[in-house]
Structure 1
Amino acid sequence: MHPDIDETVIEALVRDFYGKVRADDDLGPIFDSKIEDWEPHLRTMMDFWSSVTLMTGRFKGNPMMKHRLLRDVEPAHFDRWLSLFGESARNVASPGAAAVFIACAERIAGSFKLGMFGVPGLGPMAFPPGGPAQTN
């Protein structure tokens, strides 16, 4: 996606971002209540961002379903998440690479907000048990 994005930048972004999250008064308690051992989570997030930005395919999982199980998350938390993520992206990546990371994060946050909270008046997207249908 961008020549300045590599595994080193991804690791720096993930570590910087989650350091900010853990110190944040709003997001820190939410994450700390779900994550006991941070290093595996950070590695998973590195795999996720590697898959998103470098198309490595290392990430395996269903992040939407995991996030839909979180009952203490509100739409405004995604705005805070994006703000911190943008700060970290600009701190560790070149301007062009940061723009790629931020654009991806905005799409992801928008999808999660839609999947978790839905359209006002209509509610969240309904998934059958086990998650959204897989298409071939």
Structure 2
Amino acid sequence: MEKEIKHDILDRNDVDLLVRTFYGKIREHETLGPIFDQMVMDWESHFELLTDFWESQLFLAKKYKGNPIKVHQAVDKRINGTLMMEHFGQWLNLWLQTLDQLFEGERAWIAKNRARKIATMLYVNIFENR
């Protein structure tokens, strides 16, 4: 059996694949799925927004226009202040698994590192907002 050769994240198409595969796992997740399904009304728009976000993070593309801190604070408020660090840990684990499943290389490593920092930053800002 041949080992599948993975490549690094090279372009927007790879970012789109990452985002769609990742959110497929999120939507099936026992804890995270119901939160996301309650908050996201249009998944295609969400995929596009998050592809813009991660393309901006990985390629400095300046396509993302938004404020993830305010969005996540609003999510926490809507679900009565119940977002916990465990949720971000579960999110991060799925992100890392998806990256390992699909890619390898420098940008994949950057995507892992940025996600760790983003998860921590978002939770700290949510907690401070309470």
8 Å contact 2:49–2:64 — kept in the other structure?
yes
Q: CA-to-partner distance for each residue in 1:40-88, whole Å, 9 max, x for gaps? A: 0000000000111100100001110010112332211000000000011
Answering whether residue 93 of structure 2 is matched by residue 88 of structure 1, we say: no
- Where 2:75 maps in the other structure, the secondary structure is coil
Structure with the bigger percentage of helix: 2
Answering whether residue 55 of structure 2 is matched by residue 45 of structure 1, we say: no
Aligned-pair distance for 1:91? 1.4
Q: Percent identity?
A: 32
Unaligned runs of 5+ in 2: 1-7
> 2:112, 2:18 → 1: CA distance?
11
Amino acid at match of 1:91: Q
TM-score by length of 2: 0.84
- 1:20 — aligned with what? 25
Match of 1:34 among 35, 39, 51: 39
> 1:18, 1:110 → 2: CA distance?
19
- Where 1:69 maps in the other structure, the secondary structure is helix
Unaligned runs of 5+ in 1: 118-123, 127-136
> 1:76, 1:63 → 2: CA distance?
18
8 Å contact 1:86–1:98 — kept in the other structure?
no
8 Å contact 2:39–2:75 — kept in the other structure?
no
